Amino acid sequence: MRTDMESADERALRRRGLTLGLLTLTYFFSYMDRQILAILMEPIRRDLDLTDLQLGLVAGFAFALFYATLGIPVARLADRGNRRNIVAVSLAVWSLFTALCGLAQNYAQLLAARIGVGIGEAGSSPPSHSMIADLYPPDRRAGAMAIYASGVVLGGGFGTILGGWLAHQYGWRTAIMAVGLPGLALAVIVRLLVVEPRRGLSEPARITSTTQPPLGEGFTTIWANPAARHLVMGVTLTSLVGYALTSFGLTYYIRSYNLDTATVGLVLGPLVAIVGTISGVGGGMIADRWARKAGQHVQSWLVAILKTAAMPFMALVYLAPSFPVAVAAQAVSVLLQSSYLGPSFALIQGLAPIRLRAMWAAITLLVINLIGLGLGPAVTGALSDLYRPYFGTESLRYALLTMAAITPWPIWHYWRAGQILKQIEAGADAAGRTGD
């Protein structure tokens, strides 16, 4: 006779595909609402008379400050409460504030609405990471995380297509409201259909206590783990470059090649969505396959290898003599470097204590977003303003090239994390043989 716990576990596992799909769709809306400004920056700048630095602060720091810092208390709640409900409420909040961005009449109002988006989105990823880690075992986790992370490229790509076309036809205000409001309906669907799994469901042998550890333990445990430190640094610096390039990348095409938002959206949106999804999901599956054969450490090395191969194409995007050459270079760059999120988050969740999984995800996102999203767009905007006396309308091109040049730094952290993980795996194997 089955117990209630057994039937609940079986139900969670039977519906984990649906749960993963809805969490991915939520992340899709999260990133679409977050990145819609990328295609709308130029019309917003003209309408509200803003500088590139102001645009960078709205797109990055104002959002990131609240998104990242509030992720910690939300994760604390998620590690002891119902994660599904947290995700649903958060989705409703940020969707509403995204729509309110379209009503802004000045810089202060736009800034306030973006802060509201950041507050809402703080409750999305930490509980989602924790739920996925509970539903999928380590040898399938990178693939599941990669599917979840595809929400980044799909949301960014679809937001670019829809936002660019709507802005060209009806103005930027209609565009931003059109991507925000549907999230309210999705919030209801998430609340009704997503299954809340038992903590540690995929690794029951690792559960040693049902008591939630103190808040400070989340920070001390992640800092005390050398592999986790390097992984967090690698994904943070990658995000610093990524947010810089995505926040202003579409504006670069509009300015440097004298294009409208509809043209850029229809060309770059499908490219990012299709190629990025192939890279993210395919890279996650390859990472799982390699890990089963050689150990988890090769997932970190895979990211380092692909990012190294992408570097020449990243530079060519901003040195290209024509729009077609730049687009072709970006396609190759996106294909090679968009697979880092799945393996990164999977490895971090695999290292995290089960009762601290949401907290470790929140700490990772805190660092990623304060440094990556908080500084990436703002520094790029400041560099563009600084370069303008020397390069004129091409200042943004060289600001983006400067940010792309940071890439070797995160590559080293991924390589070092792989070395440490390999040593840990070798020690575990030796201990297992001794025990036998």
Domain range summary for the chain, segments of one domain joined by +: 10-193+215-435
Q: How far apart are CA 278 and CA 276, in angstroms?
A: 5
Smallest CA-to-CA distance from 359 within 149, 212, 235 is with: 212
CATH 3.90.1150.10 fits 10-193+215-435, yes or no: no
What is the Cβ-side half-sphere exposure of residue 259, based on CA atoms within 13 angstroms? 23
Angle formed by the axes of helices 226-256 and 374-391, nearest 10°: 40
User: What pLDDT score was predicted for residue 208?
Assistant: 47
Q: What is the pTM of this model?
A: 0.73
Q: How far apart are CA 412 and CA 304, in angstroms?
A: 7
Tens-binned pLDDT, residue by residue, of the chain (436 aa)? 444 555 677 787 888 889 999 999 999 998 888 778 878 888 898 899 888 888 888 877 777 788 777 877 887 787 778 889 999 999 999 999 999 998 999 999 999 998 888 888 888 888 888 888 888 887 788 788 888 888 888 888 888 888 888 888 898 899 999 988 999 999 999 999 988 888 777 765 555 455 566 667 778 888 899 999 999 999 999 999 998 998 888 889 999 999 888 888 888 888 888 888 888 888 778 888 888 888 888 889 999 999 999 999 999 999 999 999 999 999 999 999 888 877 888 888 888 887 777 778 778 878 888 888 888 888 998 999 999 999 998 999 999 999 999 999 999 999 999 999 989 887 765 555 554 4
Q: How far apart are CA 116 and CA 100, in angstroms?
A: 9
Q: How far apart are CA 210 and CA 205, in angstroms?
A: 13
User: What pLDDT score was predicted for residue 401?
Assistant: 96
Q: In angstroms, how far is the first alpha carbon of the chain from the final one?
A: 35
User: What pLDDT score was predicted for residue 85?
Assistant: 92
